[in-house]
Amino acid sequence: MSTPEASTTKKVQVRRYKPEENPKEHYLNAEKGVWAWMTTIDHKKIGLLYLGSITFFFFVGGMLALLLRTELLTPAQSFIDADVYNQVFTLHGAIMIFFFLVPSVPAALGNFILPLQLGAKDVAFPRLNLASFYIYTIGTIFTLIAIFTGGIDTGWTFYTPYSTQTGTNVLLMTFGIFILGFSSILTGVNFIVTIHKLRAPGLTWNKLPLNVWALYATSIIQVLATPVLAITLLLLVMERALGIGVFDPSIGGDPVLFQHFFWFYSHPAVYIMIVPGFGVISEVISTFSRKVIFGYWAIALSSLAIAFIGFLVWGHHMFVAGQSSLASMVFSFLTFLVGIPTGIKIFNWLATMYKGSIDMKAPMLYAMVFLFLFTIGGFTGIMLGSLAVDIHLHDTYYVVAHFHYVMMGGMVMALLAGLHYWWPKMFGKMYSEFFARISCVIIFIGFNLAFLPQFVMGSQGMPRRYFNYIDQYQAFHQLSTIGAYIMAVGFVIMAGYMIHSLLRGKPASANPWGSRAMEWQTSSPAPHHNFEHIPVIINGPYDYHKPMSEFQLGIAHSTNGHQSFEKVDVNVKSAEEKA
Amino acid sequence: MSETSAETKHPAHLHHHFVDSDQQFESSKMGMWIFLVTEILFFGGLFAAYIVYRAWYPELYLEASQELDAFWGAINTFVLIGSSLTVAMAIRSAQLNQIRGLIINLWITIGLACTFMVIKYFEYAEKLEKGIAPGIYYTYDGLEHEKANIFFSIYYMMTGLHGLHVIIGIGLMLWLVWKAKRGAYHSEYYTPVEITGLYWHLVDVIWIFLFPLLYLID
Ligand SMILES: [Cu+2]
């Protein structure tokens, strides 16, 4: 702001900028060639690079899951042996969590959408953003080398002392994830600064889209938790390389200390995975209900509350690891507390839909699936958080089912909602609504068939991570496997119509959903620098009772001589804080 | 928004996605502060390990820290505090547009940082000679405590990681000198100097915690 610091509000001349339909020039064709893609500092393209990577890893992790489920069709060995099985489930977990879930919404969707939602030209540090993508790539290369040089069979949690003693290549794998962590940290730093410093004129904190609030909370967790994972993995690497004796009991270390360190990161990490999903759901529900979001501040602040409480509950993973019973009681109580902000969100979303004009387009359908599955995942989490019940359910399929309901039923559904929602903005193409709904329903059915039986067999005592099992669980395992296959069919259909959309999809309009949010007030696909003007915000992002024209304002240049546009003066709060 | 004048006078150092230099400066500085928070948490994990083992084996820490040379530790503390002063003077020079002063101060800082590393090298060498190595390579028998190797594992992890940060800092400042000689910095633009300075202060502060925690236990 060139005005003196003293005044926080000032007058700017604005006019309406209608987004151009089907622009000839946009970010996808602004630079050409593979090299331009690999060296791009455009946040939108970096988002797409991430999107491509996570799609690849989702495919790999998914194939591994199908392999596991197929093996589990019969109680004894079917076609892979026990050691391979251990490696496969470890890889499934590690890939899905570190290479898919953690970067999915923040790094892929977030990178693409955050500056658009802020009316900024880019993130605060575009080169750092590209660097974080390459750090991610280097991390994955280390991991791939680890897979092909001995694999890893510790489970994605790398618990000591097994991880310090097993013959598999834990060293490279953990080092790869250590590197990956820096990518996550850099994205977090970048987002926090972008949200603080790069908001368009008039975009005050109380007008931020809820997706931005969610990304803000996520970034805070990323920045605060990931370094602790980094040091933990570094200590583990040192333990294996030099035998420093911090975690390995045979040389004087304490394995429970590793669990504390690990979960201090990894519990908040599940919020890194789910909180940005909440943001997507808020956007989708409001847009497709044509209604102002109910309880804006409740949703915004509950993200921060979850981020905060999430740091205080890690001990609930150690109820049976010899933790003092007082500590367990405290952790159990704090775990229950997380349910409150989560419940607040669910109620606010339901209240937003109440008496809205709901349009069950594919993104909204995914949001509904999210609400249903995530609620089940959340409630079963509370059950696992209660001390007595956990003694029974610990390390059973019940935990597996809970985790998948939260992560796949919650996060992946939110990711799919977001992907379908922003797809037109990303590629300027529409997808087949019909097939999108079909595949959503198929995935929903397959998912429940795969994981509901796991709750039952888990509560009956089926331990997780087991290669074979006694006959009484066979029916559940087979149902679960069939469910996994059905889900796979759903994803194949999705891949089909998405590819079709890319190749010969109908061109999308700038704002196909009639949303009031800022990212829809520019053309599809977005221009190279997001907006051809400097957007000015005077309304909240969900003010559906106000006319569209009030959402398309930008600073009117006094020199361009176009008198045909009506110019108005508006007062905007300085978006830039004078710190 | 600086009206249309933003296009007419667009300084070379200003990236296209920022409105003005102020915004760019504030952003970079905030980014560095957040990064420093992650650094503190990174070291925080080691401090947690330190605290846990100290609570379990307090007598081990008393005994083992005798092996560390408090004299040279103290010298190193002064060296680093001195370098923090010179890096602050470097920033001041940049603000006053005194590029020569900026370069000289950076060189002094680099010199002090190297002094620190040399002293550290002799400390390490002396210990390794005696067989005080981390983890399973520990062969020293001058200490009675059976967990003595754990103290030194933690010692090597903490000081090693800190040393790595010092080396990174030296690299950053060499880069600053190179850029400064090419006239990249002036009183209107010295953001990299400022944020490298912030980083350097953190490296200094971490050492100020490490020194008493490791060397001065009694
Ligand atoms: Cu947890």
Nearby residues of A148 by Cβ (< 8 Å), 6 or more positions away: none
A244 and B3 within 8 Å at the Cβ level: the answer is no
When pLDDT is averaged across residues A289-299 and rounded to a whole number, the result is: 90
Residue A571 has pLDDT above 70, yes or no: no
Q: Are residues A100 and A134 in the same domain?
A: yes
Domain range holding B105? 21-215
Three-class SS state of A568: strand
Domain assignment of residue A60, yes or no: yes
A235, A308, A241, A234: which is closest to A271 by C-alpha?
A308
The confidence band for A478, taking pLDDT boundaries of 50, 70 and 90, is very high
Is B96 exposed, middle or buried (CB count within 10 Å of its CB: 0-12, 13-18, 19+)? exposed
Instruction: Report which listed range, A27-36, A328-337, B55-64, is most confident.
Output: A328-337
d(CA A163, CA A174): 10
Percent of chain A with pLDDT over 90: 45
Q: Which residues of B touch A537 (CB under 8 A)?
A: none
Domain assignment of residue B4, yes or no: no
Residue in chain B lying closest to A534 (CA) = B1
Interface of B with A in 15-44 (CB under 8 A): 15-20, 23, 26-28, 30-31, 34-35, 37-39, 41-44
Q: Are residues A554 and A428 in the same domain?
A: no
Residue A145 has pLDDT above 50, yes or no: yes
DSSP state of A532: S
What pLDDT is recorded for position A374? 94
Percent of chain A with pLDDT over 70: 94
Domain assignment of residue A29, yes or no: no
B136 CB near a chain A CB, below 8 Å?
yes
Task: Please give the model's pTM, rounded to 2 decimal places.
Answer: 0.90
Rounded distance from Cα A125 to ligand 1 centre (Å): 32
Contact present, A318 and A256 (Cβ < 8 Å): yes
Facing residues of B186 across strands?
A: B189
Query: Considering chain B, what is the average pLDDT of its residues?
Result: 85
What pLDDT is recorded for position A212? 94
B92, B112, B103: which is closest to B169 by C-alpha?
B112
Beta strands in A204-305, from DSSP E residues, in sequence order: none
d(CA A70, CA A66): 6
Domain assignment of residue B13, yes or no: no
Q: Are residues A171 and A85 in the same domain?
A: yes
Contact present, A274 and A317 (Cβ < 8 Å): no
Please tell me the least confidently modeled range out of A3-17, A527-541, B65-79, B182-196: A3-17
Beta strands in A1-157, from DSSP E residues, in sequence order: 9-16
The confidence band for B176, taking pLDDT boundaries of 50, 70 and 90, is very high
CA of B4 to nearest chain A CA: how many angstroms apart?
7
A561, A191, A193, A10: which is closest to B2 by C-alpha?
A10
Beta strands in A417-465, from DSSP E residues, in sequence order: none
What pLDDT is recorded for position A492? 95
Structure tokens at B10: 């667009």
Q: Which residues of A touch B3 (CB under 8 A)?
A: 2, 557-558
The confidence band for A415, taking pLDDT boundaries of 50, 70 and 90, is very high
Buried b / exposed e along A340-349 (16+ C-beta atoms within 10 A): ebbebbbebb
Helix, strand, coil percent values for chain B (each to nearest 5)? 75, 0, 20
Domain range holding A126? 40-504
Rounded distance from Cα A181 to ligand 1 centre (Å): 19
The domain boundary residue, chosen from A483, A504, A525:
A504
Domain assignment of residue A32, yes or no: no
When pLDDT is averaged across residues A408-435 and rounded to a whole number, the result is: 93
Three-class SS state of A154: coil
Length of chain B equals 218
What pLDDT is recorded for position A4? 41
Nearby residues of A381 by Cβ (< 8 Å), 6 or more positions away: A335, A339, A402, A406
Residue A264 has pLDDT above 60, yes or no: yes
Please tell me the least confidently modeled range out of A148-152, A344-348, A488-492: A148-152
What tens digit of pLDDT does each residue of A62-117 get? 999 999 999 999 898 888 888 889 889 998 998 999 899 988 888 999 999 999 99
Q: Which residues of A touch B34 (CB under 8 A)?
A: 188-189, 192-193, 223
d(CA B54, CA A260): 17
What pLDDT is recorded for position A552? 83
Residue in chain A lying closest to B32 (CA) = A189
Structure tokens at A538: 């005077």
Q: Are residues A555 and A431 in the same domain?
A: no
Rounded distance from Cα A172 to ligand 1 centre (Å): 26
Residue B7 has pLDDT above 50, yes or no: no
Residue B108 has pLDDT above 70, yes or no: yes
Domain assignment of residue A18, yes or no: no
Contact present, A123 and A111 (Cβ < 8 Å): yes
When pLDDT is averaged across residues A239-249 and rounded to a whole number, the result is: 80
Q: Which residues of B touch A122 (CB under 8 A)?
A: 16-17
Q: Which residues of A touch B195 (CB under 8 A)?
A: none
A245 and B30 within 8 Å at the Cβ level: the answer is no
Domain assignment of residue A511, yes or no: no
Residue A568 has pLDDT above 70, yes or no: no
What pLDDT is recorded for position A2? 40
Q: Are residues A532 and A490 in the same domain?
A: no
Q: Are residues A302 and A449 in the same domain?
A: yes
A529 and B134 within 8 Å at the Cβ level: the answer is no
So what's the ipTM on this one?
Answer: 0.85
The confidence band for A283, taking pLDDT boundaries of 50, 70 and 90, is very high
Pseudo-torsion of CA A61, A278, A130, A531, nearest 10°?
130
Q: What is the tally of structural domains in chain A?
A: 2
Rounded distance from Cα A92 to ligand 1 centre (Å): 19
Residue A536 exposure: Cα atoms within 13 Å on the Cβ side: 26
Interface of A with B in 120-139 (CB under 8 A): 120-126, 128
Contact present, A571 and A9 (Cβ < 8 Å): yes
Domain assignment of residue A432, yes or no: yes
Domain assignment of residue B179, yes or no: yes
Domain assignment of residue A15, yes or no: no
Contact present, B1 and A555 (Cβ < 8 Å): yes
Which CATH number goes with the domain that contains A217?
1.20.210.10
CA of B17 to nearest chain A CA: how many angstroms apart?
5
In total, the C-beta contacts within 8 angstroms joining chain A to chain B are: 142
What pLDDT is recorded for position A563? 45
Residue scoring higher pLDDT (A66 or A315): A66
Facing residues of A555 across strands?
A: A14
Domain assignment of residue A429, yes or no: yes
Q: What is the DSSP code string of A48-71?
A: HHHHHHHHHHHHHHHHHHHHHHHH
The confidence band for A369, taking pLDDT boundaries of 50, 70 and 90, is very high
B35, B45, B164: which is closest to A131 by C-alpha?
B35
Residue B36 has pLDDT above 50, yes or no: yes
Q: Are residues A186 and A49 in the same domain?
A: yes
The confidence band for A567, taking pLDDT boundaries of 50, 70 and 90, is low
Which of B5, B14, B19 to mutate against chain A (most A CBs within 10 Å)? B19
Residue A579 has pLDDT above 80, yes or no: no
Rounded distance from Cα A221 to ligand 1 centre (Å): 14
The confidence band for A26, taking pLDDT boundaries of 50, 70 and 90, is confident
Domain assignment of residue B77, yes or no: yes
Please tell me the least confidently modeled range out of A6-15, A350-359, A514-523: A6-15
The confidence band for A561, taking pLDDT boundaries of 50, 70 and 90, is very low
Length of chain A equals 579
Domain assignment of residue B11, yes or no: no
What pLDDT is recorded for position A548? 83
Pseudo-torsion of CA B29, B30, B31, B33, nearest 10°?
90
What pLDDT is recorded for position A6? 41
Please tell me the least confidently modeled range out of A152-156, A401-405, A444-448: A152-156
When pLDDT is averaged across residues B119-142 and rounded to a whole number, the result is: 81
B41 and A227 within 8 Å at the Cβ level: the answer is yes
Identify the H or E element spanning B123: helix B99-130
A223 and B38 within 8 Å at the Cβ level: the answer is yes
Q: What is the tally of structural domains in chain B?
A: 1
The confidence band for A370, taking pLDDT boundaries of 50, 70 and 90, is very high
When pLDDT is averaged across residues A238-266 and rounded to a whole number, the result is: 82
Structure tokens at B19: 């409105």
Which CATH number goes with the domain that contains B122?
1.20.120.80
B30 and A192 within 8 Å at the Cβ level: the answer is yes
Domain assignment of residue B6, yes or no: no
Identify the H or E element spanning A91: helix A82-94
Q: Are residues A532 and A492 in the same domain?
A: no
Closest partner residue to B52 among A1, A185, A257, by Cβ? A257
Closest partner residue to A193 among B30, B37, B146, by Cβ? B30
Query: Measured in Å, how far apart are chain B's first and last C-alpha atoms?
Result: 59
d(CA B91, CA A415): 45
What pLDDT is recorded for position A489? 96
A185 and B52 within 8 Å at the Cβ level: the answer is no
Backbone angles phi, psi at B19, to 5 degrees: -75, -45
CA of A185 to nearest chain B CA: how many angstroms apart?
8
Return the amino acid letter for A495.
A
The confidence band for A28, taking pLDDT boundaries of 50, 70 and 90, is confident
